[in-house]
Homo-oligomer: A and B are copies of this chain.
């Protein structure tokens, strides 16, 4: 008899397979997975990721999803579609349509250098919101921590943090667990050594 393998399990295995096949270890802890998550998005896999986050945060009581532009938008939107929740992305440059005062935090940019501002309009983050934060990577945790601070500025509560890829060899999870008890990553990278990418089973 063939053992029953859940559909979501297959999707996660496919994500892992693709990261190992197409991901590139650029050194210095930088993992390039441009063909799936950034620059190019695989929408079938992205929709699966969204459903998986929806399953893991089913009981979070989330009222809104928050992410940061640019590369968080894909996974956050896919999760929003699955959970039927509005998705807000923190902006890094202030467009002229953003006229009123905004919540602002600073975060370092690991792939572009320097610091970036993250800005969210109070129109889209309220004190009674229960916020699920979704992003592509959990590495140093600095961007996610800046998003947590924005949620706190608004007087709202972070009920979950979900990321597609976690680099377990950086200390992001430790920093974030002070702010949020429920952190989920779909794929955990144990190590990146000698050009290799080693995933947790």
Contacts from A to B (Cβ < 8 Å)? 26, 30, 32, 34-35, 38-44, 46-47, 69-70, 73-74, 77-78, 80-81, 84-89, 91, 93-99, 111-113, 120-121, 123-124
Residues of B within 8 A of A81 (CB): 43-44, 46-47, 78, 81
In the bound complex, how far is the Cα of B175 from the Cα of A32, in angstroms?
36
Q: How far is the CB of A105 from chain B (nearest CB, A)?
A: 16
In the bound complex, how far is the Cα of B50 from the Cα of A47, in angstroms?
13
CB atoms of B91 and A43 under 8 A apart: no
Partner of A95, one of B88, B94, B98, B111: B111
* For the complex of A and B, 9 pairs with smallest distance between CB atoms: A43-B80, A95-B111, A32-B97, A43-B81, A40-B124, A41-B87, A69-B70, A40-B88, A73-B73
Residues of B within 8 A of A80 (CB): 41, 43, 46
Partner of A74, one of B32, B73, B99: B73
Q: How far is the CB of A71 from chain B (nearest CB, A)?
A: 9
CB atoms of B34 and A84 under 8 A apart: no
CB atoms of B88 and A39 under 8 A apart: yes
Residues of B within 8 A of A113 (CB): 96
Residues of B within 8 A of A99 (CB): 26
